[in-house]
Chain A
């Protein structure tokens, strides 16, 4: 066990927490608990918005799983990962001002609120809530696992023990803090992620003897590592390009991202967030995966991909600094997990309970209900994560693809196409999800592209088709 690294890791995390809890105390004055707990009272500034988008999106897969794959695949995987720079500007620009204006008119707090008001259909609400709960659950399990792995390789605790520590800390503060605490700590975590990436990058380059030296070593080991095609040449053009849909433009449809696009204070904050977000996401995605590739030249022969990041940090940095740098992925994982937890909890409390079970619930009761559901959800995911698969990235990508196939057209077309109606939205969600699951199970990656591409095309056709054919049934 590495005491110095452990202490500085948990020290950094503790400071983040204290600030988060302090912030949530300050926020208790506002009038609507729901608006406040789940949306931070629509008052995010530009820096906080950019950082919370980055920190929510940059998760275990970008800090632990992703670099682990890059370690095995070489520069081809970095090429694939930089497609994520699009999330920095595209998501905010597409949802943009229109989403913020409309959700404010609708008084919508969640993405499901927006869909409910836009399509006026109980079934749209039920189906979308259901898919959020199912898919985000698997996404959360993936994050839990990443967090557990990280603490495990640093402290030498057993996986179960590490997972337990991780879950307890996250639960305590999400449950009590709510959205504002989460977004505020997100901006600190985003900053740590940025600095941590930079420090680690420099240290790895120095340890490897410079970029030229590292590239030569990689080429000697396997020339494919420095081509765009992956270690055994299996990363085809079509497959890598299809990640533009999965982790680039499709991210528009992720509820945890969309909810942030309605929570900013003014267009000034929005503009600043666009600029900061693009820089930060681009920098982190490019360099984190690059570090994974470099690590192969410095520290060859690591078997479990998920352990590459912790091991390389401990190898090239003094322990105190390694602990601080590793707080970056831990921060990323926590901020993803806490946003997902809040989102699933808001879906259950706000979209299902208040909409259909008990509309006249008191503020006090909503408060207790929100907090206890958040806590219970966390415990269930913990139980799921105890027996984890090896590479968390696939689990995570499965969830992301499913949500994108379900929601991209109901959101985007709902905003920009007046003729879109509830039949189109329902058809598009059903076709999107079921085709995604069926393809994944029986015919993965049609046409050599990631499954999500085919599902999104099918759900687009369904949205347009059903909206037009059924338009006379509306009224």
Chain B
């Protein structure tokens, strides 16, 4: 009952599947970074907090650096590991 026009061997799907896995990897990394710094540094007594640029260290590393690192990672991964495919016909674009 599956779609007749849904070609399972379409080489573009292999690329798509790999890139979806990259997305899962990125989000796991993002979560671990976020959780580690927030609760690793943030759970101690408030009076013991260290500060970076005025922010509590847990917040600075977990949120500010966390968001920055994700933006850089996404940039690198997309630029160097994501592949252009054509949407018009089967197969790849000649590029």
Nearest Cβ on chain A to B57's Cβ, whole angstroms: 11
Type the 1/0 row for B3-29, where 1 means its CB is closer than 8 Å to any CB of A. Answer: 101101010110111011011101100
Nearest Cβ on chain B to A261's Cβ, whole angstroms: 12
Does A120 count as interface, using CB distance less than 8 angstroms? Answer: yes
| Given A105-B3, A271-B78, residue A78 in contact with residue B63 (CB < 8 A) | yes
Which one of B10, B27, B51, B84 lies within 8 Å of A212 (CB-CB)? Answer: B51
* Contact present for A474 and B1 (CB under 8 Å): yes
Taking beta carbons and an 8 Å cutoff, which residues of B are in contact with A? 1-3, 5-6, 8, 10, 12-13, 15-17, 19-20, 22-24, 26-27, 30-31, 34-35, 38-39, 42-43, 46-47, 49, 51, 53-56, 58-59, 62-64, 66-68, 70-71, 74-75, 78-79, 82-87
| Given A97-B12, A211-B53, A215-B51, residue A279 in contact with residue B59 (CB < 8 A) | no
* Contact present for A98 and B42 (CB under 8 Å): no
* Contact present for B39 and A267 (CB under 8 Å): no
Type the 1/0 row for A350-389, where 1 means its CB is closer than 8 Å to any CB of B. Answer: 0000000000000000000000000000000000000000
Query: CB-nearest residue of chain A relative to B42?
Result: A228
Q: For A229, list chain B residues within 8 Å (CB).
A: 42
The stretch of A82-90, A163-171, A304-312, A451-459 that contacts the partner chain? A82-90
* Contact present for B71 and A226 (CB under 8 Å): no
Q: Chain B contact residues: over half helix, strand or loop, or mixed?
A: helix
Taken together as a complex, chains A and B put the C-alpha atoms of A210 and B51 apart, in Å, by 13
Which one of B3, B22, B30, B54 lies within 8 Å of A117 (CB-CB)? Answer: B3
Which one of A89, A98, A215, A275 lies within 8 Å of B16 (CB-CB)? Answer: A98
Type the 1/0 row for A401-444, where 1 means its CB is closer than 8 Å to any CB of B. Answer: 00000000000000010100100000000000000000000000
The stretch of A15-23, A24-32, A193-201, A241-249 that contacts the partner chain? A241-249
Query: CB-nearest residue of chain B relative to A285?
Result: B67
Q: Chain A contact residues: over half helix, strand or loop, or mixed?
A: helix
* Contact present for B38 and A228 (CB under 8 Å): yes
Which one of B23, B46, B59, B78 lies within 8 Å of A94 (CB-CB)? Answer: B23
Which one of B1, B20, B46 lies within 8 Å of A227 (CB-CB)? Answer: B46
List the 3 shortest-distance A-B pairs measured between CB atoms, nearest first.
Answer: A211-B54, A93-B23, A98-B16
Does A130 count as interface, using CB distance less than 8 angstroms? Answer: no
| Given A219-B46, A274-B74, residue A78 in contact with residue B54 (CB < 8 A) | no
* Contact present for A94 and B64 (CB under 8 Å): no
Q: For B6, list chain A residues within 8 Å (CB).
A: 102, 105
Number of interface residues of A (CB under 8 A): 59
Nearest Cβ on chain B to A100's Cβ, whole angstroms: 6
Which one of B2, B20, B35, B75 lies within 8 Å of A98 (CB-CB)? Answer: B20
Which one of B13, B34, B46 lies within 8 Å of A82 (CB-CB)? Answer: B34
Q: For B34, list chain A residues within 8 Å (CB).
A: 79, 82-83
Does A75 count as interface, using CB distance less than 8 angstroms? Answer: yes
* Contact present for B54 and A96 (CB under 8 Å): no
| Given A82-B66, A83-B34, A89-B23, residue A274 in contact with residue B16 (CB < 8 A) | no
Type the 1/0 row for A116-127, where 1 means its CB is closer than 8 Å to any CB of B. Answer: 011010000000
Q: For B13, list chain A residues within 8 Å (CB).
A: 98, 101
Which one of A106, A227, A279 lies within 8 Å of B71 (CB-CB)? Answer: A279
Q: Can you list 9 residue pairs at the A/B interface with Cβ under 8 Å?
A: A79-B63, A96-B20, A98-B13, A210-B54, A227-B46, A228-B43, A275-B71, A278-B70, A282-B71
Taken together as a complex, chains A and B put the C-alpha atoms of A91 and B63 apart, in Å, by 20
Query: CB-nearest residue of chain A relative to B15?
Result: A97
Nearest Cβ on chain A to B37's Cβ, whole angstroms: 10
Name which of B12, B19, B49 has the most chain A CB atoms within 10 A of its CB: B19
Nearest Cβ on chain A to B49's Cβ, whole angstroms: 7
Nearest Cβ on chain B to A420's Cβ, whole angstroms: 10
Query: CB-nearest residue of chain A relative to B43?
Result: A228
* Contact present for B59 and A79 (CB under 8 Å): yes
Taken together as a complex, chains A and B put the C-alpha atoms of A79 and B87 apart, in Å, by 39
Q: For A418, list chain B residues within 8 Å (CB).
A: 2, 8
Q: For B66, list chain A residues within 8 Å (CB).
A: 82, 85
Q: For B17, list chain A residues within 8 Å (CB).
A: 98, 416
* Contact present for A286 and B23 (CB under 8 Å): no
Q: For B51, list chain A residues within 8 Å (CB).
A: 212, 215
Q: For A90, list chain B residues within 8 Å (CB).
A: 23, 26-27
